[in-house]
């Protein structure tokens, strides 16, 4: 037992788990990080990071057999031959879809921080105030002012590129040099701003080092080369990941122990002591069971897996899952609605092109129901668009010099616009444990019952109408609406189930991500979210994690945790 004793345990090594490990280790705590997947080390374990398509057996395509065996992961935009080793195969990790749900997972050290889309926008005050103002979910126990200094703290370390705009709907952060819009994107921006007073069009904010600072160079990271091969693992460390940033920083303290291949079965609640004492683990390879012990535990296993672990953490005191006296554990799961797209063409600018493969799009903060309820639906959506020229290598011409000349020229300009809609947390959107099916490690399969509702359909219709109208006024032609009809989950932004709140009767966590009824357990991944906002969520997870660790360590020193 002594050899398995630590000051802190972190379950999961992804974006929030890596931050928990860094902060705990830097504050002097001997910290164990449990990761259910294999070990992946920066650079060493990025086998395709510099590979050309012709160096891959299937020219970076997925074989038909894999598509048939693993239909869910094959629907993910980032899953290809060069990245497949960072994704979970459906056939190896089953779950129960009570409603269609595409659960995209990455089980390895670093988790999905190796394959995330890297878009990082702060929440505004309106996002934290929304549930309380509009009467859905429960009121957030925190406000923007509580998180703002922690946004700044993590942004400086991560490295966020962006422009300073002074918008109250999308607060500025600590930015590196922003990426640039191309000529057509600027033209659309100017035309939209000339017509609409309530719509701000700005360049995206993303976790890419455009101009590395000393804090990034000390991490061994370098400048982004705009290659658009990020999901392979970046040889420059130019985008933020646990593997290139937080975990190496934690390791430098001498306080970090990482144990890969550790499937967390449940948390151990000691009924006599009246507290959580540790974690039950099943070795992924040997299936051997082990227990680890610590004074404080951070759950960062990813939103749905954190729900699973807590639901499976039963005891005499908590027969329905750890801290679940309220019965709401696993409920009020939400996500982002990505179904709507609008495509168009743009005439002119035939003598213009752009540099590289920029890792972010142009974005527009939500303009619906921001300060008050004004539509026939609740909440709203962010809008993203980009313009580009394709056509290289696809011209129809006779072989020879004419063919070479024709295929050396880009095609006409096209425009792609998409939505990122907020969904309303509902009790009916929930996860639970299968009563009769287990995985090979003896853990019950997760049953997922999450779907769209009429509010989501209304938001989709509004996006289509407004998107088409904006592109029309911006001078686009051949405008086409699209509905991917994709299942929830493919957004990879699932949130909730272990939400924050003010009252233990209606929430699982307090304003510091601490479990109301198990005070030495903290949840700072997507499971903690009370609502989803319209922004990409990862920078908020990071800020909440750093804030929660600061609080937890102070409480330990006071003797309130331990």
Tell me: the pLDDT tens digits for 343-388? Answer: 999 999 999 999 899 999 999 999 999 999 999 999 999 999 999 9
* Residue in 295, 331, 289, 306 with CA at minimum distance from that of residue 111: 306
* Residue in 481, 496, 484 with CA at minimum distance from that of residue 528: 496
* Residue in 371, 490, 409 with CA at minimum distance from that of residue 72: 490
Per-residue pLDDT tens over the stretch 290-332: 999 999 999 999 999 999 999 999 999 999 999 999 999 999 9
**Domains in the chain: how many in total?**
1
Measured distance CA(155)–CA(216) in Å, rounded: 11
pLDDT > 80? residue 416 = yes
* Residue in 375, 345, 304 with CA at minimum distance from that of residue 525: 304
Q: Which two tokens stand for residue 561?
A: 């945790």
Chain CA centroid to CA 457, Å: 23
In 10 A of CB 81, how many CB atoms? Answer: 18
520 Rama sector, left if φ>0, alpha if ψ -120 to 50, beta otherwise: alpha
Is 64 among the domain residues?
Answer: no
- By percentage, how much of the chain surpasses pLDDT 90? 95
Q: 557: Cβ–Cβ under 8 A, 6 or more apart, which residues?
A: none
Measured distance CA(463)–CA(381) in Å, rounded: 8
C-beta separation of 524 from 541 below 8 A: yes
Per-residue pLDDT tens over the stretch 159-210: 999 999 999 999 999 999 999 999 999 999 999 999 999 999 999 999 999 9
C-beta separation of 179 from 130 below 8 A: no
Measured distance CA(154)–CA(543) in Å, rounded: 6
Let me know how long the chain is: 562
pLDDT > 80? residue 393 = no
Q: Which two tokens stand for residue 263?
A: 């499937």
Predicted confidence band of residue 407 (pLDDT cuts 50, 70, 90): confident
pLDDT recorded at residue 399: 83
Q: Which two tokens stand for residue 551?
A: 């609080």
pLDDT recorded at residue 408: 82
pLDDT recorded at residue 390: 86
Is 44 among the domain residues?
Answer: no
Is 361 among the domain residues?
Answer: yes
Is 209 among the domain residues?
Answer: yes
CATH number of domain containing 300: 3.50.50.60
Domain carrying residue 330: 5-37+106-558
* Eight-class DSSP state of 418: E
Is 58 among the domain residues?
Answer: no
Bridge partners of 420, per DSSP, are 382
Is 539 among the domain residues?
Answer: yes
Residue 405: exposure state from Cβ atoms within 10 A (0-12, 13-18, ≥19): exposed
C-beta separation of 203 from 364 below 8 A: no
pLDDT recorded at residue 2: 63
Measured distance CA(487)–CA(72) in Å, rounded: 10
Is 73 among the domain residues?
Answer: no
pLDDT recorded at residue 12: 98
Is 176 among the domain residues?
Answer: yes
For the segment 27-52, the average pLDDT, to the nearest whole number, is 97
In 10 A of CB 146, how many CB atoms? Answer: 16
Measured distance CA(339)–CA(420) in Å, rounded: 8
pTM: 0.97
pLDDT recorded at residue 406: 79
Measured distance CA(15)–CA(5) in Å, rounded: 25
Q: How many CA atoms lie within 13 A of 489 on its CB side?
A: 21
pLDDT recorded at residue 409: 83
C-beta separation of 179 from 363 below 8 A: no
Residue 274: exposure state from Cβ atoms within 10 A (0-12, 13-18, ≥19): exposed
Q: Kind and range of the H or E element at 24? A: helix 15-26
Question: Mean pLDDT score of the chain, rounded to an integer?
Answer: 97
Q: What is the dihedral of CA 235, 238, 244, 248, to 10 degrees?
A: 120
pLDDT > 70? residue 1 = no
3-state secondary structure 393-416: CCCCCCCCHHHHHHCCCCCCEEEE
């Amino acid at each position: 037992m002594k050899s398995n004793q630590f000051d802190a345990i972190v379950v999961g090594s992804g974006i929030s788990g890596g931050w928990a490990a860094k902060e705990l280790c830097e504050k002097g705590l001997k910290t164990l990080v449990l990761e259910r997947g294999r070990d992946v080390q920066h650079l060493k374990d990025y086998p395709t990071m510099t590979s050309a398509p012709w160096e891959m057996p299937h020219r970076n395509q997925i074989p038909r057999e894999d598509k048939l065996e693993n239909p869910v992961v094959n629907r993910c935009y980032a899953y290809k031959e060069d990245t497949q080793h960072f994704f979970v195969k459906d056939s190896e990790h089953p779950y129960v879809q009570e409603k269609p749900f595409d659960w995209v997972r990455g089980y390895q050290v670093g988790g999905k921080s190796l394959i995330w889309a890297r878009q990082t926008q702060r929440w505004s005050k309106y996002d934290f105030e929304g549930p309380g103002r509009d009467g859905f979910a429960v009121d957030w126990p925190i406000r923007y002012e509580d998180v703002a200094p922690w946004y700044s703290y993590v942004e400086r370390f991560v490295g966020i590129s962006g422009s300073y705009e002074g918008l109250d709907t999308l607060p500025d952060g600590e930015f590196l040099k922003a990426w640039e819009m191309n000529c057509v994107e600027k033209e659309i921006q100017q035309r939209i701003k000339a017509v609409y007073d309530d719509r701000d069009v700005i360049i995206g904010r993303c976790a890419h080092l455009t101009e590395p600072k000393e804090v990034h160079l000390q991490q061994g990271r370098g400048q982004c080369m705009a290659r658009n091969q990020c999901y392979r693992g970046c040889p420059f460390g130019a985008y933020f990941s646990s593997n290139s940033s937080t975990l190496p920083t934690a390791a430098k303290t001498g306080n970090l122990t990482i144990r890969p291949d550790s499937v967390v079965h449940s948390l151990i609640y000691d009924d006599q002591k009246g507290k959580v004492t540790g974690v039950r683990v099943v070795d992924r390879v040997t299936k051997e069971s082990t227990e680890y012990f610590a004074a404080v535990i951070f759950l960062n296993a990813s939103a749905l897996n954190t729900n699973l672990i807590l639901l499976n953490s039963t005891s005499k005191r908590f027969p329905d899952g750890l801290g679940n006296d309220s019965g709401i554990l696993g409920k009020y799961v939400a996500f982002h609605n990505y179904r709507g797209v609008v495509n168009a063409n743009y005439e002119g600018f035939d003598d213009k092109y752009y540099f590289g493969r920029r890792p972010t799009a142009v974005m527009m903060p939500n303009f619906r129901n921001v300060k008050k309820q004004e539509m026939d639906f609740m909440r709203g959506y962010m809008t993203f668009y980009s313009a580009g020229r394709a056509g290289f290598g696809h011209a129809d011409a006779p072989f020879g010099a004419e063919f070479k000349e024709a295929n050396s020229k880009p095609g006409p300009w096209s425009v792609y616009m998409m939505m990122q809609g907020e969904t309303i947390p509902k009790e009916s959107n929930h996860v639970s444990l299968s009563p009769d099916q287990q995985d090979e490690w003896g853990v019950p399969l997760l049953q997922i019952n999450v779907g769209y509702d009429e509010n989501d359909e209304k938001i989709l219709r509004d996006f289509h109408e407004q998107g088409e109208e904006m592109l029309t006024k911006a001078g686009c032609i051949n405008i086409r609406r699209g509905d991917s009809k994709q299942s929830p989950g493919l957004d990879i932004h699932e949130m909730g189930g272990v939400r924050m709140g003010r009252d233990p009767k209606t929430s699982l966590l307090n304003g510091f991500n601490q479990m109301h009824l198990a005070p030495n357990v903290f949840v700072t991944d997507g499971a903690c979210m009370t609502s989803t906002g319209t922004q990409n969520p990862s920078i908020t997870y990071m800020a909440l994690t750093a804030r929660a660790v600061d609080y937890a360590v102070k409480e330990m020193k006071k003797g309130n945790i331990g």
